[in-house]
Amino acid sequence: MLDAPEKTTAWLTDDEVRLLDAHWRAANYLAVGQIYLMANPLLTEPLRPEHVKPRLLGHWGTTPGLNLVHTHLNRVIKARDQDALCVWGPGHGGPAVLANSWLEGSYSETYPDVSRDAPGMGRLFRQFSFPGGVPSHVAPETPGSIHEGGELGYSLSHAYGAALDHPDLLVACVIGDGEAETGPLATSWHSNKFLDPVHDGAVLPILHLNGYKIANPTVLARLPESELDDLLRGYGHAPLHVAGDDPATVHRALAQAMDTALDRIAMIQRAARHDGAAERPRWPVIVLRTPKGWTGPAEVDSLPVEGTWRSHQVPLPAVRQNPEHLRQLESWMRSYGPQQLFDEQGRPRPEVLACVPQGAKRLGATPYANGGLRLRELPMPPLERYAVPVEGPGRTTHEPTRVLGDLLEEVMRATAGSRNFRLLGADETASNRLQAVYGASGKAWQEQQLPVDEDLDRHGRVMEILSEHTCQGWLEGYLLTGRHGLFASYEAFAHIVDSMVNQHIKWLRVTRRLPWRASIASLNYLLTSHVWRQDHNGFSHQDPGFVDHILNKSPEVVRVYLPPDTNTLLSTADHVLRSRDYVNVVVAGKQPCFDWLTLDEANAHCARGAGIWHWAGNEDGTREPDVVLASAGDVPTQETLAAVRLLRTHLPELAVRMVNVVDLARLLPQEEHPHGMSGADYDALFTRDKPVIFAYHGYPWLIHRLAYRRAGHGHLHVRGYKEIGTTTTPFDMVVRNDLDRYRLVMDVIDRVPGLAVRAAPVRQLMEDARLRHHVWIREHGRDLPEVADWSWAR
Amino acid sequence: MLDAPEKTTAWLTDDEVRLLDAHWRAANYLAVGQIYLMANPLLTEPLRPEHVKPRLLGHWGTTPGLNLVHTHLNRVIKARDQDALCVWGPGHGGPAVLANSWLEGSYSETYPDVSRDAPGMGRLFRQFSFPGGVPSHVAPETPGSIHEGGELGYSLSHAYGAALDHPDLLVACVIGDGEAETGPLATSWHSNKFLDPVHDGAVLPILHLNGYKIANPTVLARLPESELDDLLRGYGHAPLHVAGDDPATVHRALAQAMDTALDRIAMIQRAARHDGAAERPRWPVIVLRTPKGWTGPAEVDSLPVEGTWRSHQVPLPAVRQNPEHLRQLESWMRSYGPQQLFDEQGRPRPEVLACVPQGAKRLGATPYANGGLRLRELPMPPLERYAVPVEGPGRTTHEPTRVLGDLLEEVMRATAGSRNFRLLGADETASNRLQAVYGASGKAWQEQQLPVDEDLDRHGRVMEILSEHTCQGWLEGYLLTGRHGLFASYEAFAHIVDSMVNQHIKWLRVTRRLPWRASIASLNYLLTSHVWRQDHNGFSHQDPGFVDHILNKSPEVVRVYLPPDTNTLLSTADHVLRSRDYVNVVVAGKQPCFDWLTLDEANAHCARGAGIWHWAGNEDGTREPDVVLASAGDVPTQETLAAVRLLRTHLPELAVRMVNVVDLARLLPQEEHPHGMSGADYDALFTRDKPVIFAYHGYPWLIHRLAYRRAGHGHLHVRGYKEIGTTTTPFDMVVRNDLDRYRLVMDVIDRVPGLAVRAAPVRQLMEDARLRHHVWIREHGRDLPEVADWSWAR
């Protein structure tokens, strides 16, 4: 616990309180104005209904608290000349952050038409939640923001991600007591076990207990204070409490708490950086209890509003229609004393701005929150150094992710000085066979270490916690502040962050349209331990649907790759790690996989995204093939090539083409996705009228959803995962889902016109092979030697 | 804090320890046998390579701890004749629970071929993780299970769901220290603020700290004990610690802790039930620290294994190939003394079974874990009581979810005695306009209440916490133990539980194939506050993709409904609340919506799932229409009907058909989904060759994915949400996404052959209307009167 200094009431001079309060009142005035007014911003005339917006939208309840925190952050930033960023968890209180940005001038610098004067104030008010204006939340459009406050749960992990490898940065993070009830937030408190006081900056959580959510009290606000303290200490923090509803008292208490917290942080960092202290520090947390909707109407229509959930959105709902509401609004706004706060031109008076820091220290102007400005190229090694030698297709095998791990080790090593790359995973880095990276960096860990432990490192840049939410939040925060990273996950469990990646994609979609936002590194997923190889775990671990989820989102942002072997994985990884402003999903296995392409071939194939593998098929080039076998994904590619071999052995006169697709969006029309193929290109690969048997890694209907506009769609037959799984052998998994080589050959026979009768004996052979499989595995518990040891080269 | 009794070492007699240890050793032996052996189960001959499975799969690390807990639960259940259920969070330790079920006899009763003797033991071993056998995890196939231990995070919320409204039930819940790092688990500790000691049963969390995850130490295991205690007390629990690696000592300490915990629980329940105690109790939690892989090989290949992460899966990986591994395995298995544990016929000896309870008290035989056995019909009121009067289509409006709330109030009231229905939501029940239910039951709340609060109730059955994960977990646990419920959520935030619902669907898919599993009530979602009406929140709250996610899953389990008005919502709700073994998703708005159908019409339309609205179109019945306008969802239906009116006004000679789809799976072929339409039925609705303009609620390509096999698919043109959103007016949202009435009319003109030239002036009118809209909203901040006040009836 921190010892509180004695003389609380004397923490600030009366004059300091007066100046802070002026700033806070100005911000509150500007926030109310945004929610309500479309004219008469300075209340230079009596308020009339037509000054009020016809639709009243926004969230007042959290706003005065956010304004208070912003005011006090201004004070300490200026006093200490501190680089700082703030993550506003209750970002639905957008008016607060917009008001502060306008006050400090960063808003007008970003949007010159919203000038810091009366016309600009008018525009600030009108545009808020207005058609063609700005969103009601803290959003990409908001200067200084890296966090949309709409979907709750991710503020604290974002804050930690921003602080990693930014030793001089203070990241304040306001956590609403509503958000604190979410699972992702509840576990992200433990991020302090992964924050290195030497190389990382500091996170100052400010738990804002205003007592209510939309319609209910909050769990944390109703805990006895001692129980809440237990919880926060159990999370590894030292709590500082600030509570009250008298502004002067609260200003003093909050100023004291912030100074105490920042002094404590400075001490912790000094101890770690200069004195070599190795014990995990107990970082401060501020608990701020102020009324919901503070300074707003105490009662409306005879019901209590200030201090209750009724102030969550718009406390006076009928201002245009109800003269009493109109009167209350005017009295509320005038209570802040706008004429004392703004001069005749509507400019903030100097005393209002006394606490505001200068230039890039301002929260709305910090380059940390426009991370692309600080982004440095990732030093990618030459792929030749890691490419596996391929003397011919299918002669050798490698574990693709293991080889990728070797490459990532060099990336990790090359960024040892710049510290701008992190690898993240939910306790699965080694399980996903990327453990070579430990040669260049251990795993971040600030807790106790035991002799039996391996690869833990107080300064490590590999991040592992058994929480996909936390990994995702850390990575988003890290990327948004100008660094690089990769999240490796079991394929099925990527769905855990479906909703988080939604928000990140939306963020990127908007920022791509904002010229002042610099490009950031892409968010890269490596999905491995995939659906076809869950030998240890079975059905619960089998879900290839993350790709479907991603491909529903903005095409300008999303990319999906399924490299079929080791060298194509290297080529893909190189591409995605160099890319900007995308969410890239790479699906690749960790189990031994045949090598099909040399590095040069892999690079060419990945650059095309989809192409014919001439060495596999037997077209003579004079005419179209009889059938196209296509694949996407490592296991489907293996089965498809095995099927091609069976066809060439048993039906040598059949002209077979083999197509492999790495970049799934290639299948979309070019009008639908930047990577989409033209109709002519598609037809050149797949033909317009020949049967196409497509073996796909995931849910088969995804391929139809991508290709339904193609001329040859009626001839497209897709095999994939049909949600049939259990703990069984690898080949049994493909058989159960009708993706096995024998079934693919049968599909060809069933679909190539005129083949059914002629090839009936071959079809019978295939059925026999499937039957032999079924009998064998139940007897022997492993796959038939002929499929387990199969190779194209034999 | 609980005071620990003094004489710890004397808690059990030596004989009691001996008997418990025999049971534990027997379970450990059976677990190792499942992972390794396919023959020689009793080690009646020396172990040879061919006795060992060719593929070694499973998770040993957590298994001895689970066996220990099961043994001690047996003891207290028997001693107290207690109804109990256990949720095994580390359910990937499947061998443990299978071993215990076999020992107590429930396994052989469920699967008679796996008898409780040597041949049965042989089958038990062989079938584990073997093709055609049983999964490696605790799974639906496992007697006594309600929780798959594959995806981590949900054990504790499942346990609470099971305990709700089961006053006599004890739900033990083993939480692994890996799982404890997940977000959903971290917040689910707060479930104790919602557990009513009067009407609900008890949850006893057992936090099992074996120190390691797959490859890392765990966050909680490495906390100093005082910090962990702070955390658990902060979560509202009173911790009891058990730690050690000497079996006799641990047996005594765990027995003491369990007795103390159960005595404390009995005291809490007595105080609440008989003495009227109203203070929130501090429920006990047991912290159990035992080595990972306890009693397994201490070292393998000169590396420490017992007590480290290396024992997570299969500690001896090469038993068939490596004679030293084989020797170690045999010595390990013989260390349990199989000949002392099992008689010559392989039956457990009486002393092994001394702790096992009888009949339905056994954890593998409790009907609480086969909830369908305890399921009672939900008393559904006649819909007539709530149906809104409809004198003609589009004459009146109602808020569909508000009317549904009235119906739910009666369901809530009718179940006041049986207490077998709960309504859940993430702080959104009132926001979703279902608050009428508070008339019959308040919101569950055990924390402090203030005078300003409304509708909080210590005995309430409406559950609100700002955690979709917790709501989902509670509901799953509630349903799986034989009750009914409804989860109402903002549409966008259903994605938060994508991964959880995956697992529930997988569970249902498997249980439907198990004859001994009785049917349970469906998991019902009401998705409201949907993509088209996020007036306050904008882009972050706009995501209709949960439906896409659901429709990827097992067709026998998933159902999706989009009722277009109030009476169809009532009809749909009635249907889904009566249904069994499904996951039903109902998408319906809360904003005023035109009433289109009377209750009778609604019932008939919903029974068909899709149908022609003859009153809307102008076909003469003698020939096919010129164009079909189709819709699914409330806003698209409104826009489609407005478009139909525009067409009938401006192009009266055009024969227009209006089709509405409520049940989305109807669009699938009947071979693909039980609700799928035949080709003939589909063609009768949509025609084979006429243009179909389909206005869909969500991502438009979903409709193509469902209908791509239909004859008329080439003529199908779908409008929907294209991931374009912000804070704006309702009509602007549909305009931005090209789903508005004017665009739909233009689509018709563009697609009906021969209409382009003739209808060019009408097309221009539509373009002008869109332009007028754009100008108007930027000026006035609200929608044009002609669209805001539009009605079919005018």
The span from the CA of B279 to the CA of A503, in Å, is: 40
Query: Is there a contact between A499 and B510 if contact means CB atoms under 8 Å apart?
Result: no
Burial grade of A384 (CB within 10 A; 0-12, 13-18, 19 or more): exposed
What is the mean predicted confidence (pLDDT) over B247-267? 98
User: For helices B247-274 and B63-80, what crossing angle results, to 10°?
Assistant: 50
CA dist., res. A309 & res. B38, Å (int)? 63
Find the CB nearest B135 among A213, A218, A727.
Answer: A727
Residues A153 and A288 in one domain: yes
Element (H, E) at A174: strand A169-176
Q: What is the pLDDT of residue A652?
A: 96
pLDDT of residue A8: 47
The domain boundary residue, chosen from B560, B593, B626: B593
CA distance A27 to chain B (A): 21
φ, ψ of residue A710 to 5 degrees: the values are: -75, 150
**Structure tokens belonging to residue A347:** 């400019």
Question: Which region, left, alpha or beta, applies to residue A593 given φ > 0 means left and ψ of -120 to 50 means alpha?
Answer: beta
Structural domain contains residue A599 = no
Q: What is the pLDDT of residue B1?
A: 37
Cα–Cα distance measured from residue B240 to residue B221, given in angstroms and rounded to the nearest whole number: 15
Q: Are residues A260 and A171 in the same domain?
A: yes
Inter-chain touch B235–A231, beta carbons under 8 Å: yes
Torsion angles phi and psi, residue B419, rounded to 5: 45, 60
* pLDDT, tens digit (0-9, with 9 covering 90-100), for A445-469: 999 999 999 999 999 999 999 999 9
Give the C-alpha separation, B155 to B191, whole Å. Answer: 12
A744 and A620 share one domain:
yes
CB atoms within 10 A of CB A779: 10
B555 neighbors B663 (Cβ within 8 angstroms): no
Q: Which of B594, B724, B721, B711 is nearest to B660 (CA)?
A: B594
Give the separation between CA A667 and CA A679, rounded to whole angstroms: 10
> Nearest to residue A587, comparing CAs of A531, A516, A654, A655?
A531
Note the pLDDT of residue B621.
85
Q: How far is the C-alpha of A612 from the C-alpha of A237, rounded, in Å?
A: 58
- In chain B, which residues have their Cβ closer than 8 Å to the Cβ of A236? 223, 227
For residue B58, give the chain A residue with the closest CA.
Answer: A536
B39 interface with A at CB cutoff 8 Å: no
Interchain CB contact of B222 with A (< 8 Å): yes
pLDDT at B35 over 70: yes
Q: Find the residue in B nearest to A435 (Cα).
A: B215
User: How far apart (Å, rounded) are the C-alpha atoms in residues A61 and B433?
Assistant: 20
Residues A646, A580 within the same domain:
no
Q: Is residue A604, in this structure, part of any structural domain at all? A: no
Per-residue tokens: A456: 């833990």
CA distance B92 to chain A (A): 7
List the single residue in B with minimal CA-CA distance to A185.
Answer: B183
If you measure CA to CA, which chain B residue comes closest to A714?
Answer: B709
Contact call for B187 and A181, based on CB within 8 A: yes
Q: Determine the Cα–Cα distance for residues B294 and B32; give it in Å rounded to an integer.
A: 12
Please indicate, yes or no, whether residues A253 and A137 belong to a single structural domain of this protein: yes
Q: With beta carbons less than 8 A apart as the criterion, state whether B305 and B313 touch.
A: no
- What is the rounded CA–CA span in Å between residue A505 and residue A45? 44
From A599's Cα to the closest Cα of chain B, the distance in A is 32
Domain co-membership, B286 together with B173: yes
CA-based nearest residue in chain B for residue A182: B467
Distance from CA of B770 to the nearest CA of A (A): 14
Average pLDDT over every residue of B231-256 = 98
Q: Are A622 and A584 members of one domain?
A: no
SS3 A723: coil
Q: Is A509 on the interface with B (CB under 8 A)?
A: yes
CB count in 10 Å sphere of residue A340: 13
Structurally, how many domains does chain A consist of?
A: 3
DSSP B542-595: ---THHHHHHTS-TTTEEEE---SHHHHHHHHHHHHH-BS-EEEEE---S-EE-
Question: Of chain A residues 437-476, which have a CB less than 8 A from chain B?
Answer: 443, 445, 447-448, 450, 452-453, 456, 464-470
What pLDDT, on the 0 to 100 scale, is given for residue A621? 84
Nearest Cα to Cα of residue B316 among A45, A42, B324: B324
CA distance A26 to B73: 62
Cβ contacts of A313 on chain B, cutoff 8 Å: 536
CA–CA separation, B117 vs B110, rounded Å?
A: 15
Quick one: A117 and A205 in the same domain?
yes
B chain contacts of residue A699, beta-carbon cutoff 8 Å? 552
Q: Do B223 and A701 touch (CB under 8 A)?
A: no
Nearest chain A residue to B151 by CA distance is A540
Residue-level pLDDT at A149: 86
H-type helices in A658-725, by residue range?
679-686, 701-707
Residue B389 in contact with partner chain A when CB distance is under 8 A? no
For residue A231, list chain B residues with Cβ-Cβ distance below 8 A: 230-231, 233-235
Domain presence at residue B7: no
Q: Please state the rounded mean pLDDT for residues A541-561.
A: 97
Cα-to-chain-centroid distance, residue B354: 37
Chain B interface test: which of A726, A737, A773, A774 (most B C-beta within 10 Å): A726
In this prediction, what percent of chain A has a pLDDT beyond 70?
A: 99
Rounded to two decimals, the ipTM of the complex is 0.97
Instruction: Pick the residue of B151, B715, B733 with the most A CBs within 10 A to test the interface with A by mutation.
Output: B151
**pLDDT tens-digit series, residues B547-560:** 999 999 999 999 99
- Which pair of tokens denotes residue A307? 């201090």
* Residue A160 lies inside a defined structural domain of this protein: yes
Average pLDDT over chain B, rounded to an integer: 96
> A71 phi and psi, to 5 degrees?
-55, -45
Please check whether residue B520 lies inside any domain of the structure: yes
**Residue B472: which pLDDT band, with cuts at 50, 70 and 90?**
very high
Burial class for A326, CB neighbours closer than 10 Å (0-12, 13-18, 19+): buried
**Contact in structure between A136 and B537 (CB atoms under 8 Å):** yes
A617 falls in which pLDDT band (50, 70, 90)? very high
Tell whether B304 is within 8 A of chain A (Cβ): yes
Nearest to B689 by CA among B672, B709, B722, B712: B712
B761 reaches A (C-beta below 8 A):
no
The string of DSSP codes covering B242-264 is EE-S-HHHHHHHHHHHHHHHHHH
Q: Which residues of B77-88 are buried (b: 16+ CB within 10 A; e: fewer)?
A: bbebebbbbbbb
Give the residue among B31, B17, B14, B15 at the shortest CA–CA distance from B336.
B31
Q: Mean pLDDT over residues B367-382, rounded?
A: 98
Does residue A446 belong to any structural domain of this protein?
Answer: no
- Minimal CA separation from A447 to chain B, in Å: 6
Q: Which of B489, B523, B483 minimizes the C-alpha distance to B505?
A: B523
Report the candidate in B133, B155, B156, B142 with the shortest Cα–Cα distance to residue B94: B142
Q: List the single range of A306-315, A607-616, B67-76 with lowest mean pLDDT.
A: A306-315
Q: What is the pLDDT of residues A396-445, one digit of tens each?
A: 999 999 999 999 999 999 999 999 999 999 999 999 999 999 999 999 99
Specify the CATH number for the domain of residue B630. 3.40.50.920
Question: Is the Cβ–Cβ distance between B289 and B33 less than 8 Å?
Answer: no
pLDDT tens, position by position, A750-784: 999 999 999 999 999 999 999 999 999 999 999 99
Mean pLDDT of A61-66: 97
Contacts of A151 in chain B (CB under 8 A): 492-493, 496, 540-541
Under 8 Å between Cβ of A147 and A155: yes
Together in a domain, B273 and B356 = yes
What digits encode the pLDDT tens for the residues A687-705? 999 999 999 999 999 999 9
Average pLDDT over residues B120-132: 95
Question: What is the model's pLDDT at position A2?
Answer: 41
Chain B residues whose CB is inside 8 A of the A131 CB are: 728-729, 732, 777-778, 781
Tracing tokens 């400090």 back to the chain, one arrives at A104
Contact A185 B183 (CB under 8 A): yes
Q: Say if B772 is an interface residue toward chain A (CB within 8 Å).
A: no
Over range B575-600, report the average pLDDT: 97
Put residue A419 in one of left, alpha, beta given phi > 0 → left and psi -120 to 50 → alpha: left
Q: What local confidence, expressed as pLDDT, does residue B793 receive?
A: 80
Q: A280 — contact with chain B (CB < 8 Å)?
A: no
Query: Nearest CA to A749 among A757, A740, A738, A741?
Result: A757
Question: Are A572 and A618 part of one and the same domain?
Answer: no
Give the CATH number of the domain where residue B358 resides. 3.40.50.970
- Percent of chain A residues past pLDDT 90, beyond the cut: 95
Report the pLDDT value the prediction gives residue A269, as an integer from 0 to 100: 98
Which of B190, B456, B492 is opposite residue A219, by nearest beta carbon? B190
A384: in domain:
no
Per-residue model confidence (pLDDT) at position A495: 98
Say if the Cβ atoms of A535 and B777 lie within 8 Å.
Answer: no
Its domain, for residue A475, covers 395-405+422-436+468-593
On whether any CB of chain A is under 8 Å from the CB of B89, the answer is: no
* Residue B3 pLDDT > 90: no
- Give which of B452, B457, B493, B533 to mutate to test A binding, by max A Cβ within 10 Å: B452
pLDDT tens figures, A131-178: 989 999 999 999 999 999 889 999 999 999 999 999 999 999 999 999
Min Cα distance B313 → chain A (Å) is 9
Indicate which of B88, B136, B282 best probes the interface with A, i.e. most A CBs within 10 Å of its own CB: B136
pLDDT at A630 (0 to 100)? 98
pLDDT at A7 over 60: no
B643 and B537, same structural domain? no
The 3 state secondary structure assigned to B279-307 is CCCCEEEEEEECCCCCCCCCEECCEECCC
The yes-or-no verdict on residue A5 having pLDDT over 80 is no
Structure tokens at B652: 């009266």
Q: H/E element holding B610? A: strand B610-612
Taking the alpha carbons at both ends of chain A, their separation in whole angstroms is 70
Q: Does A344 touch chain B (CB under 8 A)?
A: no
User: How far apart are the CA of B648 and the nearest CA of chain A, in angstroms?
Assistant: 31
| Res. B789 pLDDT band, cuts 50 70 90 | confident
Residue B793 lies in a domain: no
Residue B514's contacts (CB-CB under 8 Å, 6 or more residues apart) are: B140, B141
pLDDT at res. B7: 47
* Amino acid of residue A361: K
Of the partner residues A447, A543, A777, the one whose CB lies closest to the CB of residue B219: A447
Given B541, B558, B593, which residue is the final one in a domain? B593
Instruction: Answer yes or no: do A569 and A614 share one domain.
Output: no
